[in-house]
Structure 1
Amino acid sequence: MSLSDRDSKHLWHPLTQHKLAGPAFPITRASGIYLWDEAGNSYIDAISSWYISMYGHCNPMITSAVAEQMLRMDQIVFSGFTHEPAIAMSEKLMALLPENQQKVFLSDNGSTSIEVAVKMALQYHFNRAEKRDLLMAFENGFHGDTFGAMSVSGLDVYNGPFSDFSLEVKRITPPNGSNNEQVLEDLKKYLATGRVAAFVFEPLVQGAAAMQLNDAAGLSSMIAACHAAGTLCIADEVMTGFGKTGTHFASEQLSELPDIICLSKALTAGLLPMGLTTCTQAVYDAFYSDQLADGFFHGHTYSANPLACAAAIAAMDLLVSEEIQQNIQKIIDSHREFDAEIKIHDAVASTRQCGVIYAIDLKKDIPRYGKERDAILQFFMDRGVYLRPLGNTIYIVPPFVIQQEELQKIYEVLREALVAFGA
């Protein structure tokens, strides 16, 4: 039996209606920027496997660090114990994060990092004897699939069946530069109620919302208004973190800093799952008490897994290296050059770029899921490039280690797709 046939017997895949979907595509090997199938065909991973494998698959520097750690310590309880990989990882991370971040709480993935942040924000006010039971988030935001993370997400395609079971959340239009004043006015109306515990947002780029951009100045004004009202600000940098927006973190491009930052995905360069939530000293101090009940009683079995911490340390070393920083700038420059050409194409409705993230909207209306979208995905695969369209939006988030020749191949396949699907 083929891998696809064996897969269909027992496996239930994410984001899949199995009655309508075709068989899962079997991948047998991954190395560098390439994936290989059973027949030996190779595919450029042009979205870094959901924005995580930014240094290429099976990067030897990262795999070696994890293999070495595996021989010393695999997994230990992190409640009451500590270890060198977690400590070293936190020290290295704090040197990169915005200067107001001081504490790190570790979990398992991006969704749990948001879950931690939401609980942290709600309990922060509870511990201070403040009744704040309302959350705010952007329209069409996506923050994960656990219940707290799902509550602050705004995409019904994922959350529709669970809308009656969510936390109370008010959604607000993201600032785009032309609507900043109106967005700020709308925000202040909610803040005036005194009920808003936290504002949760994806800084600069809303990933699942088809890479929609928000305005840094407008977002900074919103954060300032929240702080003036005593509302905590939670930056979901699960997608944007670790170099993708041109700076280490998107929050660095804001004039006002968030109180809490959520990270995962590229944190461990795709080798092992890990999430973390960082916060300011002021947030942490609200839990630091003689009262046991004021503590943050949240935990995950694999928190601070030593192997994942070792992967994160190696990944951060790569991020700050001269080679990777130069490569990031080369990708940014190449995207800009390609954009100057493609944005005037008859089939293109709009384009946008933030760092190495680049997106094209086709004029043709294509549903987010279904046969038309799957046909575009298959078109790319047939030409040796893995791109995963979000409806009529085709986006690129290439690994930082991609070479110009390979990047040009992605652009050429995109040109062909505009001809094939632009009508």
Structure 2
Amino acid sequence: MLTKFPSYYVMSSNTEIGKTVFSTGISIAAVREELRLLYLKPVQTGFPLDTDSSFVKNYNPSDFIITKTIFSMSKPVSPHRAMPVDFNIDGNMDSYHFLDKKMITIIEEEIHLSKSQFVLIEGSGGAASPSLQGQLQCDVFRKFRLPVIFVADAKLGGISTSISTISLLEAKGFEVVCILLFEGKDENYIFLQKYYKNKFPVFLFKNIVDVQNLNFDSLMKRPLDFWYQENEEKFSEVFHHLMSYHVSKIEMINEQIELAKKNIWWPFTQHGNQGEAQFIDSAFEDDIYFVDIKNHQSKNILTERHYDATASWWTQGIGHASPRLTQAAAAAAGRYGHVMFPGNIHEPVVKLTEKLLNTVGKGWAHRVFFSDNGSTAVEVALKMAFRKAIGIKDNDNINSQKNIFILGLKDSYHGDTHAAMDATSENTFKKHEHWYNPRGYWLDYPAIYFKNKKYYVAMPDSFLDESLSDFFTIEVNSVYELFSEKRLETNLANIYINNIENHMKFIENAPFLIGALIIEPVIQGAGGMKFVDPLYQKILIRECKKRKIPIIFDEVFTGFWRLGKASASQLLDEKPDISCFAKLLTGGLLPLSVTLSGEEFFQAFNGDSLSSALLHGHSYSAHPVGCAVALEAIDETRVSKNFLKETNSLEINWNTEIINEISTLSNIANVICLGTLFAFELNDVDADYNSKRGYKIISEIKRLSIDVRPLGNVIYILSGFNTSSYILKSILEKILSILKKEQ
């Protein structure tokens, strides 16, 4: 969080190191410069015998300083132990789960409303000491990510504890701006100054030698007045460093925004229409923190917290900056860095392979191929499928002389590399690409619509005759009944079978070969969040299996519980031959993808000649950091707040009443709500990526601190795996209000 005036955390590795003494000295320096200062102590234990706010005010009684304590508890122990005593909690603390959040909310309000020009927030104990609820203090304070004034330990052993704590803070995303410490008899400062020489300054203060008893009562008699006078110049130096750091931070942001205009080339962005770059200060849990200096000059807080409704291009689920994922990444990076993969293994890749075969690949997959992103995972899948279906390319073979096509659905998207593009039908993504050469046979498909509180099947024109309507009403009590096997016994199933069989008859006599069926199961993501009728996909898959056409599932979007289940194949209850995963695989922390297959596809490449092997690879294939993070991401997903262990699924509590009401609006063509996905389609004659229908609505939604990015006339929200029903309801209420105004 960036504030208009300098705001800092004061942290250390332990208690009784001098945080309050140094906070007082900084406050005196600020008042000497005639600046108003706010000192906040979020948690105070040992009250009233020990109170840091009173200490600061006692040594700095000026009207220019305000000191406040948010939570005070009498027992002089760690907050997580003191809190149950003061609140008379016996055993179960679940009903007090809100206290840490309440504390953070109060801090934010204090900064927002303050008329001070400098803010100090002093932690309790060490940075890794427990909070009121037993979380690490640094994890609780991470939401704001204010810069840190670190008070190092001058005693024997203090070098180790100080460096360890600073490393922890940096791994959590904090910026340490300086170190303060006493000279100490062990001269820790000499090593720390050398160790952090090129990072930040280490300010040295004279020892407090004349005061033998440093308990609270004795210190309140102001025996340190002379010490503060003696160190006045040093505190002034610290204060000016803190002021300078704050000013340079704001200048740096403005400079980087200007540099971005000149040098950065964004993906999927028409720069001719792009406004000024949004500067992201940080991201945490479900939120992104944007800095907006120009529009917030009159406010104390220069950052805006936005709900990450796009899940940062579909990568997020657990939430940003997960401490578990960060630690897993650091541990693997420290152990391996990066190592070459072909012919080698390492612990994270073996464990991840096993876990993948027991989750998204359970019951069908036997091999895992690692690559770097979803598009390349798809290209690998195509190579696997073609080798198994067609065999090794041989110019003397009649089949090698035919074009190899894929069978797919219109509106599909599999990535931006050329083979992945060629595996999709023509659309806005490819119309200006010189090398784009569509090689496929693409089917119209029936889609599920939710409109006026009812589910419909929207039939494409190619399905219709005089006896068929373009919309079929489906009587179901929940969206999950759309996946029922009972639907295979309906007249609609017969219509689908006849349509697919007609296509298959044409393909059998076509001058090309079908190398694979490739589909995005259930939801076609980038194509506009199209909900393909599960019944149609089930029948299509089964008809392809009858003809021994390999089945590829592109689960780059849908995989790893995006739609509630570990994979969309589990929703369909249909097993692919090959499947591609990325995005949520690493919990959104870094790129990694996998292509899973059955053993027979592996054997199609197995032999003695290198030329017949699967010759596809990446320098960072199966990088240990990504594998370690992916392992942790799967485990953390399974303990997320919305995860049900009994069914191994996510249950996102979308508010059905609001969704039903949205479906009745005249400007809404369709609503989708499945798993973490909520999407709505605006009525528009230009229903594709060129649609400008939603510009005003998008602008209004963003103004309400929800960061969205449309897919043409389709606007979507992706819930996090830990997002509360309260937050989701609030988001839906805001969207409903905007849509009503725009009818």
Fold equivalence (TM over 0.5): yes
How far is the alpha carbon of 1:322 from its aligned partner? 6.5
- Note the residue ranges of structure 1 that are not aligned, 5 or more in a row: none
The superposition leaves residues 342-400 of structure 1 with CA deviations (integer Å, 9 ceiling, x where unpaired) of 21123322212222212112225566357654433322221110122222222111111
Aligned pair count reads 421
Tell whether 2:364 aligns with 1:100.
yes
* Counterpart among 24, 28, 35 of residue 281 in structure 2: 28
Closer, same or farther: CA 155–417 of 1 in aligned 2, 3 Å: farther
SS in structure 1 of the partner of residue 719 of structure 2: coil
Cα separation, 2, equivalents of 1:12 and 1:306: 30
The more displaced of 89-98 and 364-373 is 364-373
Closer, same or farther: CA 187–86 of 1 in aligned 2, 3 Å: farther
The superposition leaves residues 243-286 of structure 1 with CA deviations (integer Å, 9 ceiling, x where unpaired) of 11121100112243111000000001110101111101111111
SS in structure 2 of the partner of residue 353 of structure 1: strand
SS in structure 2 of the partner of residue 29 of structure 1: strand
TM-score by length of 2: 0.54
Tell whether 2:374 aligns with 1:110.
yes
How far is the alpha carbon of 1:115 from its aligned partner? 1.1
Aligned twin of 2:416: 145
The superposition leaves residues 177-198 of structure 1 with CA deviations (integer Å, 9 ceiling, x where unpaired) of 6562354134413542471111
* Counterpart among 271, 284, 306 of residue 43 in structure 1: 306
SS in structure 1 of the partner of residue 391 of structure 2: helix
Closer, same or farther: CA 53–123 of 1 in aligned 2, 3 Å: same
* Counterpart among 651, 656, 675 of residue 355 in structure 1: 675
Report 1:182-221 matches (<5 A).
182-193=498-509, 195-221=513-539
Could you tell me which amino acid in structure 1 is paired with residue 391 of structure 2?
F
Closer, same or farther: CA 113–351 of 1 in aligned 2, 3 Å: same
Q: Is the 8 Å Cα contact of residues 684 and 693 (structure 2) preserved in structure 1?
A: no
Tell whether 2:261 aligns with 1:8.
yes
The superposition leaves residues 226-246 of structure 1 with CA deviations (integer Å, 9 ceiling, x where unpaired) of 122221111000000011112
Report 1:14-413 matches (<5 A).
14-38=267-291, 39-96=302-359, 97-124=361-388, 125-127=390-392, 131=400, 133-154=404-425, 156-162=427-433, 165-166=436-437, 168-176=439-447, 178=492, 180-193=496-509, 195-321=513-639, 323-326=641-644, 329-331=650-652, 333-365=653-685, 368-369=689-690, 373-413=694-734
Cα separation, 2, equivalents of 1:2 and 1:413: 34
Q: Is the 8 Å Cα contact of residues 682 and 693 (structure 2) preserved in structure 1?
A: no
Closer, same or farther: CA 343–187 of 1 in aligned 2, 3 Å: same
Could you tell me which amino acid in structure 1 is paired with residue 259 of structure 2?
R
SS in structure 2 of the partner of residue 19 of structure 1: coil
Q: Is the 8 Å Cα contact of residues 582 and 593 (structure 2) preserved in structure 1?
A: yes
Could you tell me which amino acid in structure 1 is paired with residue 676 of structure 2?
V
Cα separation, 2, equivalents of 1:29 and 1:322: 22
Closer, same or farther: CA 25–189 of 1 in aligned 2, 3 Å: farther
Could you tell me which amino acid in structure 1 is paired with residue 332 of structure 2?
Q
Q: Is the 8 Å Cα contact of residues 29 and 36 (structure 1) preserved in structure 2?
A: yes
Cα separation, 2, equivalents of 1:318 and 1:375: 38
Closer, same or farther: CA 330–287 of 1 in aligned 2, 3 Å: closer
Q: Is the 8 Å Cα contact of residues 89 and 313 (structure 1) preserved in structure 2?
A: yes
Cα separation, 2, equivalents of 1:108 and 1:61: 22
Cα separation, 2, equivalents of 1:364 and 1:156: 17
How far is the alpha carbon of 1:28 from its aligned partner? 1.3
How far is the alpha carbon of 1:212 from its aligned partner? 0.7
- Note the residue ranges of structure 2 that are not aligned, 5 or more in a row: 1-253, 292-301, 448-456, 458-491
Aligned twin of 1:416: 737
Q: Is the 8 Å Cα contact of residues 364 and 392 (structure 1) preserved in structure 2?
A: yes
TM-score by length of 1: 0.93
How far is the alpha carbon of 1:23 from its aligned partner? 2.3
SS in structure 1 of the partner of residue 433 of structure 2: helix
How far is the alpha carbon of 1:204 from its aligned partner? 0.2
SS in structure 1 of the partner of residue 431 of structure 2: helix
SS in structure 1 of the partner of residue 700 of structure 2: helix
The superposition leaves residues 116-169 of structure 1 with CA deviations (integer Å, 9 ceiling, x where unpaired) of 111222233223975471211110101100011111123521111237642521
SS in structure 2 of the partner of residue 161 of structure 1: coil
The more displaced of 118-127 and 299-308 is 118-127
Percent pairwise identity: 30
Could you tell me which amino acid in structure 2 is paired with residue 287 of structure 1?
F
SS in structure 1 of the partner of residue 368 of structure 2: strand
Could you tell me which amino acid in structure 2 is paired with residue 252 of structure 1?
Q
SS in structure 2 of the partner of residue 158 of structure 1: coil
Closer, same or farther: CA 268–155 of 1 in aligned 2, 3 Å: farther
Closer, same or farther: CA 313–329 of 1 in aligned 2, 3 Å: closer
SS in structure 2 of the partner of residue 105 of structure 1: strand
The superposition leaves residues 303-332 of structure 1 with CA deviations (integer Å, 9 ceiling, x where unpaired) of 10111111110111122336341497542x
How far is the alpha carbon of 1:53 from its aligned partner? 1.0
Cα separation, 2, equivalents of 1:57 and 1:63: 10
Cα separation, 1, equivalents of 2:655 and 2:689: 24
Q: Is the 8 Å Cα contact of residues 48 and 54 (structure 1) preserved in structure 2?
A: yes
Closer, same or farther: CA 305–2 of 1 in aligned 2, 3 Å: same
Could you tell me which amino acid in structure 1 is paired with residue 540 of structure 2?
M
Q: Is the 8 Å Cα contact of residues 53 and 270 (structure 1) preserved in structure 2?
A: yes
RMSD of the TM alignment (CA)? Answer: 2.2
Larger Rg: 2
The superposition leaves residues 46-70 of structure 1 with CA deviations (integer Å, 9 ceiling, x where unpaired) of 2211211100101111111111111
The more displaced of 364-373 and 272-281 is 364-373
Closer, same or farther: CA 285–208 of 1 in aligned 2, 3 Å: same
Cα separation, 2, equivalents of 1:344 and 1:165: 40
Q: Is the 8 Å Cα contact of residues 27 and 36 (structure 1) preserved in structure 2?
A: yes
Closer, same or farther: CA 268–343 of 1 in aligned 2, 3 Å: same
Q: Is the 8 Å Cα contact of residues 65 and 310 (structure 1) preserved in structure 2?
A: yes
Q: Is the 8 Å Cα contact of residues 107 and 113 (structure 1) preserved in structure 2?
A: yes
Cα separation, 1, equivalents of 2:329 and 2:710: 33
Cα separation, 1, equivalents of 2:368 and 2:429: 29
Aligned twin of 2:489: none
